[in-house]
Amino acid sequence: MQPNPQQLGVLKATLFALCLVPLAQLGWLAWTDGLGANPIEFITRHLGTWTLNFLLIMLAVTPLRHITGWHWLIRLRRLLGLYAFFYALLHFLTYLWLDQFFDWAAIVKDIAERPFITAGFTAFVLLIPLAATSNAAMVKRLGGRRWTQLHRSVYAIAIIGVIHYWWLVKKDITLPLLYAVILGALLGFRAYRLSRERQRQLQAYSRPR
Amino acid sequence: MLIKRPDDIAPSEITPRELFEQRRAFIKAAGALALAAGLPAEAWAREAFPNLQKSAYSTLEPPNSFRDITTYNNFVEFGFGGKSQPAERAGAMKTRPWTVSIEGLVQKPRTFAIEDVFRIAPLEERIYRLRCVEGWSMVIPWVGFPLNALLKQIEPLGSAKFVEFITHMEPATMPGLRQPFLDWPYTEGLRLDEALHPLTLIAIGLYGEELPNQNGAPLRLVVPWKYGFKSGKSIVKIRLTDKEPKTTWNLAQPEEYGFYANVNPDVDHPRWSQEKERRIGEFFKRKTLPFNGYADQVAQLYAGIDLRKYY
């Protein structure tokens, strides 16, 4: 399966629209009075959850590509990554504006003293350079290797993101655990392939010629 | 410029009084019929408590809506997964027949039928603030009577120092009981002097009606100067002891949830600040008050106690 450029364009446009559904859902719930008794909490959770979802979906592209052989999937990855940043930004702004209402003293204290907020803030800050260097011009300017190195930090970001979630729940860790397991599988797939590749190279090298 | 908006409803469309009163009579008759047919009362309407006494302990702050109070709950037996789960799931809990046994260091141990509990003391409306340890608050018009009226009936012995509250377990309707995160049954406790304080309430209703299940039917504890988790729901047993009872959240995470759990803006939860709270229905956070605003009534209970140590 190999879509032609036109089909890929349609696919991208569809995906672009699809990624807006979680945001539209908030709009709809706000309109129909469906955000519950604590709308700010609901919005914050919803946006945070979708940030993690997009990070995991984006990290699933490479394994999926190798398993299915659909290498064109890589063409959708930037879109997913930028949406992860988009939802992270909305999540952060919700915290700054709706939750804390720009109470800077409280915000600084939160970031400094609350481990789960420190983690979330760190992950968000680390996402900024990745979003800023996502276009083709920046790839060229940085050079492919440096760009790749920089963008590997997304593995750490996803891990910190899941820790952020883990540390904020009161007692029931079922959902954070689920995210951790999926993330572990996605990163484990890469580690496995990398070690196999090393082995192959090592064997190729040590083979008598 | 047209300033007056045209009315949405034409006068002709408004139901005349005679007609809607007839309808009400019909609904009442239908209710009576349902009763006569042997349906449980809860199936069609909750018991209403008329002629409630007003209380000087009530706050003048506006109460939250019935909808907010009954759809945004922590009742972990019905799930840890979201504040709407108790409202979705608790309806299946059986609250009749129900008994409450009081035992331990008492002169007259006794098991009360819930109907008798309802008659122990004149029922009052108590409009209390509720502050959750998670950082939100509400104002709730409870129906109930002081716990000390109940304790008077069984006459605590001189050796009794603490009161333990043990809550209902109904595995068929409570999926939370299958989760390993807490030790069940959910158990709470107070010092005897806290339990005897006139603010400490046994609530059996809210907004003039019997408690909805998700709010802890048919009876629960309400200790308004402590974080909400101290106020156990759907209580089945009260035990007087000479040792500090082991309480559920304290057992689960002692560094986060103390036995006392008095609302205190100066002692943060290890993971979040307790300085402020969001009153449900309000946009701006408000400052949290020591003892949830009940310091004048209860601060003397803790004179000389280091509230940072005994959080």
Read off the CATH number of the domain in which B148 is found.
3.90.420.10
B74 part of a folded domain: yes
Instruction: Quote the minimal CA–CA distance from B193 to chain A in Å.
Output: 30
Contact A171 B181 (CB under 8 A): yes
B228 part of a folded domain: yes
Sort out which chain B residues have CB atoms less than 8 A from A100's CB and list them. 285
Sort out which chain B residues have CB atoms less than 8 A from A36's CB and list them. 71-72, 83-84
pLDDT band for position B44 (50/70/90)?
very low
Cα distance between residue B15 and residue B20, in whole Å: 7
CB of A101 less than 8 A from some CB of B: yes
Contact B182 A110 (CB under 8 A): no
Cα angle at B81 between B78 and B84, to 5 degrees? Answer: 70
Residue length, chain A? 209
Lowest mean pLDDT among B31-40, B56-65, B183-192: B31-40
pLDDT at res. B6: 47
Q: Which residues contact A25 (CB under 8 A, 6 or more apart)?
A: A46
B57 part of a folded domain: yes
Going residue by residue through chain A (209 aa), what tens digit of pLDDT does each one get?
788 999 999 999 999 999 999 999 999 999 999 999 999 999 999 999 999 999 999 999 999 999 999 999 999 999 999 999 999 999 999 999 999 999 999 999 999 999 999 999 999 999 999 999 999 999 999 998 999 999 999 999 999 999 999 999 888 899 999 999 999 999 999 999 999 999 999 888 776 65
Tokens of A169: 């729940």
The ranges assigned to domains in chain A are 5-206
Q: Tens of pLDDT along B277-287?
A: 999 999 999 99
Q: Examine the pLDDT at B36 and tell me if it is beyond 70.
A: no
pLDDT at res. B145: 98
Q: Tens of pLDDT along B127-152?
A: 999 999 999 999 999 999 999 999 99
CB of B286 less than 8 A from some CB of A: no
Nearest to A106 among B72, B84, B273 (CB): B273
**Which of B137, B273, B279, B288 is the mutation pick for testing A, counting most A CBs within 10 A?**
B273
Name the average pLDDT for chain B. 89
Contact B278 A38 (CB under 8 A): yes
Instruction: Quote the minimal CA–CA distance from B154 to chain A in Å.
Output: 37
pLDDT at res. B50: 86
Contact B111, B239 (CB under 8 A): no
Task: Read off the pTM.
Answer: 0.85
CB of A96 less than 8 A from some CB of B: no
CB of A36 less than 8 A from some CB of B: yes
pLDDT at res. B159: 98
Instruction: Tell me which residue range forms the domain holding B263.
Output: 46-302
List the 135-164 stretch of A: residues with Cβ below 8 A of B: none
State which residue of chain A sits closest to B272, comparing Cα positions: A114
Q: Examine the pLDDT at B15 and tell me if it is beyond 70.
A: no
Contact A37 B71 (CB under 8 A): yes
DSSP string for A127-189:
HHHHHHT-SHHHHHHH-HHHHHHHHTHHHHHHHHHHHHHHHHSSS--HHHHHHHHHHHHHHHH
B243 part of a folded domain: yes
pLDDT at res. B38: 47
**Which of A163, A172, A175, A178 is the mutation pick for testing B, counting most B CBs within 10 A?**
A172
B123 part of a folded domain: yes
B61 part of a folded domain: yes
How many domains, in total, are found in chain B? 1
The predicted complex's ipTM stands at 0.84
pLDDT band for position B117 (50/70/90)?
very high
Cα angle at B290 between B284 and B292, to 5 degrees? Answer: 65
- Smallest CA-to-CA distance from B165 within B61, B247, B263, B273 is with B247
Contact B273 A40 (CB under 8 A): no
pLDDT at res. B125: 98
